[in-house]
Amino acid sequence: MLANTLFERLIKVGDLTIIDAKGRTRRYKATDAPKVTIRITDPHMHWKVMLAPQLAVGEAYMDGKLVIEEGTLYDFVDIGVQNLRLAYDDGVLRWLSRIRNFLARFADYNPIPRAKQRVAHHYDLDGRLFSLFLDSDQQYSCAYFAHPSDDLETAQRRKKLHLAAKLSLQPGQKVLDIGSGWGGLGLTLAEAAKVSVTGITLSEEQHKVSNQRASDKGLSDRVGFHLRDYRNETGTYDRIVSVGMLEHVGKHHYRAFFSKVKELLAEDGVAVVHSIGRFDQPGPVNAWMRKYIFPGSYIPTISEITGPIEECNLLITDIEVLRLHYAETLLAWRRNFYGNLDKVREIYDERFCRMWDFYLTACELGFRRKELMVFQIQLAKSMDALPITRDYIHEFEAANEAGRRPEQRMRIS
């Protein structure tokens, strides 16, 4: 009865029919589409959905206890995402959300040993998995779609060059890449701007692959990757870049992170931080996502980031918000994943495949339905570390797209 009341209160978009484990059918129709019918096969799911809906729904789909009989997984998740978005102003649902937010605070503690364990949970999976849905450079972050005709390969290269442009790189500079992934960004920076790059990661699999890639390209003299937590890094760098790392730092560690960036950055240095962010109010990551995909992750609002930056006395010199770019990236990943599903099944079981199907679908809709975005924040210590207009960004990208280097712009001091 309580579940029925909540669903009637919640559903303001879509046409959802639920067949429970006893064969009873209830329909909640607010609009004609999306139209979905699901069947619950386990009677224990009724209470689980009430007590922990985010966790229970994802687990039920993984375990085959939630069967979609009409419509698609995309349609089903879309109904959930859109209606939860509309429910922010509902007093009862807001109260339930506050309880969830309070309990999630205890998961943000992220000391170095735990940070390494959490990274291994996701990034040390079989490397063949990522090669089946990412681009050839294994860029596991938001691409940059400058034109509607861009495919994933083009958009990921544009992303790397966009970051390189914002770093205002000059030949011979020392660059630190915090959270260097499989090395693609660091190798691109070294090739496009003739700089030396130090990459640090907590993933043993990524560490091994990235150094092998540097060796294969003959760049080991200028590019090296290390298995190291950012808190243990030393030295001074002309440029610092971090892509997809801030989501794993933990809300209570932001000040420590930006303090470390300031400590490592040269006086005339520039840093660029690229991260997933929230459009709405602060709150925890979806409980299912935290348990099965990214343990300990936290998606900040921009307001949660600017405070710690200001406390560290760093200058915010530029902020760009990428709205639908990650939705398009995830759509491309989902298509690649489905196209290689038989190969994924050769590596992992059916439950894993359903888990990743749910993960990629839910994430795409999070970015498509005004909940999530990506921001790039450019930081400096000095007022004259960068040109006073953004023209240098376009000039670098245009020159690299044409296969040439732009002339160095004069800084105004």
Catalytic residue among 142, 312, 353, 363: 363
Residue 314 and residue 379 in contact, taking contact as beta carbons nearer than 8 Å: yes
Beta carbons within 10 angstroms of residue 4's beta carbon: 11
Please state whether 314 falls in left (phi above 0), alpha (psi between -120 and 50) or beta.
Answer: beta
**Known active-site residue 353:** no
Residue 180 and residue 365 in contact, taking contact as beta carbons nearer than 8 Å: no
Among 41, 37, 39, residue whose Cα is nearest residue 71? 37
Among 87, 100, 60, 91, residue whose Cα is nearest residue 76? 60
* Vertex 185 angle, CA 181 and 189, to 5°: 150
Query: Alpha-carbon distance 109 to 105, whole Å?
Result: 8
Query: Alpha-carbon distance 343 to 166, whole Å?
Result: 38
Whole-angstrom CA distances from 351 to 4, 363, 406 are 29, 18, 50
SS3 41: coil
Among 248, 110, 295, 116, residue whose Cα is nearest residue 286? 295
Backbone dihedral angles phi then psi of residue 345, each to the nearest 5 degrees: -65, -20
Backbone dihedral angles phi then psi of residue 262, each to the nearest 5 degrees: -65, -45
Query: Would you name the residues annotated as active-site residues?
Result: 363
